[in-house]
């Protein structure tokens, strides 16, 4: 039978445990960050690198937003801006009169000089060999500096991907979420691993973000999480919708547009229609992530997150950025400044339109 330890022995063991506990306490003691700007970022995911839509259609807003972020010492969290004007290679969203600026090369360089990469959403699904010579699409890609290591393309078509690897080998390539919609609705891990071996990053299918076991098998450095897509979870019309979008961007077919409008009005649960109980009979949720879901994925080690919304009204788009990037306890202050800027810019735009349309003065 083992002898019971003496009082002195127990006392010494307690002291040993206290010494060990002190080591852990000292290891956990980290000073509060005092550098200006840190407190402005969302405290649950301060190390996220944001990939933000609106490069063209929200050019003025994003330029102001970037300046604002720099003045607040937090522009380092802005990794890339992405979008595409109305060119044949555009995918994911319809070509809807988004301008191709003549000074795009200078605009892209100005973003690079401020530490932000530029990615073009050339994610059309149905491109054929004959489409690779499209002059506007090629001219757009030529505006990108491939030597700086910050710029790239978001692709969904293997033919275009191979073409651009030869044409501009210095550009990074991201596998679009559209590619996963078409090729991997079954959430096969083998597909993700193959894509991560071929591309710099892969945007996860929005239905698969809820499968934490699947996410845990992905390379964190090559994974991008789209957090604010408003499509319905396991939408049965997503593949058809995206294919029609790509076809429309090539030929502007009236019949295709009418079919897309029919889908939108009759079966689509995207955006606010997710709340329509007459349409959403199965109470399906959207794939727009909650804060708790974003934090769970962040805590798994993922750092590349994407905010879409390039076809949303500027106020809605600004809300997405405020909602996810900023500390919620300070967000009201940022919202006030950002929306004031939007109001000023809108008044300028209206004044310019009135000036352009005003009748010429007679002598």
pLDDT given for residue 149 in this prediction? 95
Query: What is the percentage of the chain residues whose pLDDT exceeds 90?
Result: 61
Handedness of CA 144, 146, 152, 153 (dihedral sign): positive
Residues 6+ apart with CB under 8 A from 161: 155, 173
Contact 235, 187 (CB under 8 A): no
Q: What is the CATH number of the domain that holds 57?
A: 3.20.20
pLDDT given for residue 58 in this prediction? 92
Domain annotation covers residue 33: no
Handedness of CA 108, 219, 288, 281 (dihedral sign): positive
pLDDT given for residue 342 in this prediction? 81
pLDDT tens-digit map of 266-307: 777 666 555 565 566 566 788 999 999 999 999 999 999 999
pLDDT higher than threshold 80 for residue 210: yes
pLDDT higher than threshold 80 for residue 12: no
Per DSSP bridges, beta strands 304-307 and 49-53 are parallel
Q: What is the mean predicted confidence (pLDDT) over 79-93?
A: 95
Domain annotation covers residue 271: no
pLDDT band at 23 (very low <50, low <70, confident <90, very high): low
Domain annotation covers residue 188: yes
**Interior angle at CA 145, CA 139 and CA 150, nearest 5:** 130
Q: What is the mean predicted confidence (pLDDT) over 315-329?
A: 92
Domain annotation covers residue 131: yes
Q: How far apart are CA 227 and CA 174, in angstroms?
A: 16
- Between 150 and 286, residue with greater pLDDT: 150
Q: How far apart are CA 291 and CA 269, in angstroms?
A: 21
Side-chain-side CA neighbours of 187 within 13 Å: the count stands at 13
Q: How far apart are CA 121 and CA 346, in angstroms?
A: 26
3-state secondary structure of 125: coil
pLDDT tens-digit map of 106-142: 999 999 999 999 999 999 999 999 999 999 999 999 9
Lowest mean pLDDT among 159-163, 175-179, 271-275: 271-275
Domain annotation covers residue 36: no
This prediction's pTM? 0.85
pLDDT given for residue 8 in this prediction? 75
Q: How far apart are CA 166 and CA 151, in angstroms?
A: 16
pLDDT band at 30 (very low <50, low <70, confident <90, very high): low
pLDDT given for residue 283 in this prediction? 65
- Between 215 and 26, residue with greater pLDDT: 215
Please choose, from the candidates 206, 202, 245, 203, the residue with its C-alpha nearest in 3D space to the C-alpha of residue 228: 206
pLDDT given for residue 269 in this prediction? 67
Please give the residue range of the domain that contains residue 61: 45-233+287-343
Q: How far apart are CA 125 and CA 33, in angstroms?
A: 46
pLDDT given for residue 69 in this prediction? 93
Q: How far apart are CA 206 and CA 218, in angstroms?
A: 15
Helices marked H in the chain — which ranges? Answer: 7-28, 59-71, 104-113, 135-142, 158-167, 177-183, 189-198, 212-215, 238-251, 254-266, 291-299, 314-325, 331-357
Handedness of CA 293, 294, 299, 302 (dihedral sign): positive
Domain annotation covers residue 298: yes
DSSP class of residue 287 equals S
Considering its fold, how many domains does the chain have in total?
1
> What is the overall mean pLDDT for the chain?
88
Domain annotation covers residue 91: yes
DSSP class of residue 44 equals T
Please choose, from the candidates 182, 184, 122, the residue with its C-alpha nearest in 3D space to the C-alpha of residue 154: 122
pLDDT higher than threshold 90 for residue 339: no
Domain annotation covers residue 133: yes
Contact 305, 227 (CB under 8 A): yes
Q: How far apart are CA 360 and CA 355, in angstroms?
A: 10
Q: Hey, what are 82's tokens?
A: 């992405």
């Amino acid at each position: 039978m083992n002898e019971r330890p003496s009082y002195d022995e127990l006392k010494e063991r307690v002291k040993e445990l206290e010494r060990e506990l002190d080591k852990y306490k000292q290891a956990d003691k980290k000073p509060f960050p005092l550098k200006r700007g840190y407190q402005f970022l969302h405290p649950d995911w301060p190390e996220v690198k944001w990939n933000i839509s609106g490069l063209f259609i929200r050019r003025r807003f994003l330029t102001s937003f970037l300046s604002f972020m720099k003045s607040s010492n937090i522009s380092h969290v802005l990794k890339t801006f992405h979008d595409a004007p109305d060119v044949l290679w555009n995918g994911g969203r319809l070509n809807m009169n988004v301008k191709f600026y003549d000074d795009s090369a200078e605009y892209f360089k100005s973003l690079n000089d401020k530490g932000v990469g530029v990615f073009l959403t050339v994610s059309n699904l149905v491109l054929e060999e004959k489409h690779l010579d499209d002059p506007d699409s090629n001219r757009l890609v030529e505006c990108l500096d491939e030597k700086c290591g910050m710029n790239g393309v978001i692709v969904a078509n293997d033919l275009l991907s191979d073409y651009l690897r030869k044409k501009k080998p210095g550009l990074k390539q991201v596998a679009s979420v559209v590619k996963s919609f078409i090729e991997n609705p079954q959430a096969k891990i083998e597909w993700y691993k193959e894509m991560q071996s071929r591309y710099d990053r892969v945007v996860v299918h929005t239905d698969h973000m809820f499968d934490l076991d699947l996410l845990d098998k992905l390379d964190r450095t090559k994974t991008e999480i789209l957090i604010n897509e408003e499509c319905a979870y396991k939408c049965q019309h997503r593949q058809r919708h995206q294919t029609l979008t790509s076809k429309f961007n090539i030929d502007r077919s009236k019949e295709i547009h009418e079919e897309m409008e029919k889908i939108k009005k009759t079966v689509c649960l995207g955006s606010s229609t997710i709340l329509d109980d007459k349409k959403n009979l199965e109470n399906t949720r959207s794939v727009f992530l909650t804060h708790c879901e974003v934090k769970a994925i962040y805590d798994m080690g993922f750092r590349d997150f994407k905010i879409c919304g390039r076809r949303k009204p500027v106020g809605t788009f600004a809300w997405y950025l405020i909602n996810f990037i900023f500390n919620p306890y300070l967000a009201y202050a940022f919202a006030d400044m950002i929306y004031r800027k939007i109001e000023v810019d809108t008044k300028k735009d209206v004044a310019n339109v009135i000036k352009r349309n005003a009748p010429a003065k007679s002598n």
